[in-house]
Amino acid sequence: MIDLLRLGFFGMRTRPMRAVLSALGIAIGIAALVAVIGIPASSAQALRDKLNTLGTNLLTAAPGQTFGGSDAKLPETAVPMARRIGAVTAASGTGSISANVRKTDHVPSSDTLGLRVAAADQDLLKVLDAKVDRGRWLQPGEKSIVLGSTAASRLGIERVGTQVWIDGQWFSVVGILAPLPLSPEIDRAALIGWEAAKEVFGFDGSPSTVYVRTDKDQVDEVRKLLGPTLNPQQSNEVKVSRPSDALAAQQIAENSYNALFLGLGGVALLVGGVGVANTMVISVLERRREIGLRRALGATRRQIRWQFLTESVLLSGLGGLVGVVVGIAVTAGYAISQKWPAALPWPALLGGVGAAMAIGAIAGVYPAVRAARQSPTEALA
């Protein structure tokens, strides 16, 4: 075995540039496969970590449509009723206000920037597990504004104390929230207190979204009870959703591209295997005298066959090893750039080297058999 390995490495050392170029195709294919497996695994781990931090026990309820097709409304008592469910640990809500928020009164009213104004219940932060990035949260009865992270960015507001223009009135920004992955509608909102919204904008007190935190092991039960509890008369007009499901669905959609990239990696491996086979065939033709000399000195056909097959496997294995290292580097680099944990599935890494060696064995069969068939007289002619 040691002699075979020595002979295999000798063949690669005598033609280093050709060996490198042949192994490159295998390396590219393995690197692509490792990266395609590693990057989604890192993304999935980041999603799991995010959901563990945010909690999967958040439910939202919103008005749907009536039988006639018009927009339904939740009763003003929806939030207090949600709190009465035994497994609910906290509940809060927001209410839509027909108003536009702008940076100054010189900005056209049609330029909404995709933002909305909403009334916010006092304990909204607690229910959403939200954090105030700058400033503070609203105080009861206060006629001020707290901006979601996206709203602040689009309005170009970076500090508290700045004023914004909402339907003919100036409001002071007292706080800016940190991003809320499970509640992007809050990120795009300018929030005013519940009572202040009634006084200033004539808000009717009907929530447009009810947020509910539940016991983690009773989420499904609460989900079934929310509709009949919030609107006993028309429970079918209540839409209940679980925001964490949306994040999971997004992850599935992103992973739908994995098959395409795996296919591209497979094509690269196939091309690399053809390159190795071509290199070995040429090597057999160029080394006819070496083969003839070894046969004349007593080497058997089997020994010649194993020599070239070992060289092919070593060549591909080297490419596979380099490909795994490159794949790890690409996965780690991309994960760091996205602030994800780098998840490296070890079975895939070991399988990458094994696949490369298997391809090398397949690619080396024909050249090895061809070399073994040469007789000493033909090879030395």
pLDDT digits (tens, 9 = 90+) for 114-172: 999 999 999 999 998 889 999 999 998 899 999 999 999 999 999 999 999 998 899 99
Strands 169-177 and 238-241: what pairing? unpaired
pLDDT, greater one: 22 or 129: 129
Structure tokens at 251: 């992850």
- pLDDT of 133 reads 94
- What percent of the chain lies above the pLDDT cut of 90? 24
- Per residue in 345-356, pLDDT (tens digit) is 777 677 777 877
Amino acid found at 1: M
Question: What pLDDT is attached to residue 94?
Answer: 95
Structure token digits, residue 48: 């799991």
State how far the Cα of 250 lies from the Cα of 138, in Å rounded to an integer: 33
Q: What is the mean pLDDT of the chain?
A: 80
State yes or no: pLDDT of 370 exceeds 60.
Answer: yes
pLDDT at 173: 96
Residue 97 has pLDDT above 90, yes or no: yes
Alpha-helical (H) ranges within the chain are 2-14, 16-54, 78-83, 124-128, 149-155, 184-187, 194-201, 219-230, 243-255, 258-286, 288-296, 301-337, 346-373, 376-380
Residue 313's pLDDT is: 79
Write down the domain spans for the chain.
Answer: 1-52+248-378, 57-241
> How many Å apart are CA 58 and CA 75, to the nearest integer?
21
* DSSP annotation of 235: G
Separation between Cα atoms, residue 280 and residue 315, nearest integer Å = 10
226 pLDDT more than 80 = yes
- Of residues 222 and 253, the one with the higher pLDDT is 222
pLDDT of residue 291: 65
- Of the two residues 79 and 31, the one the predictor is more confident about is 79
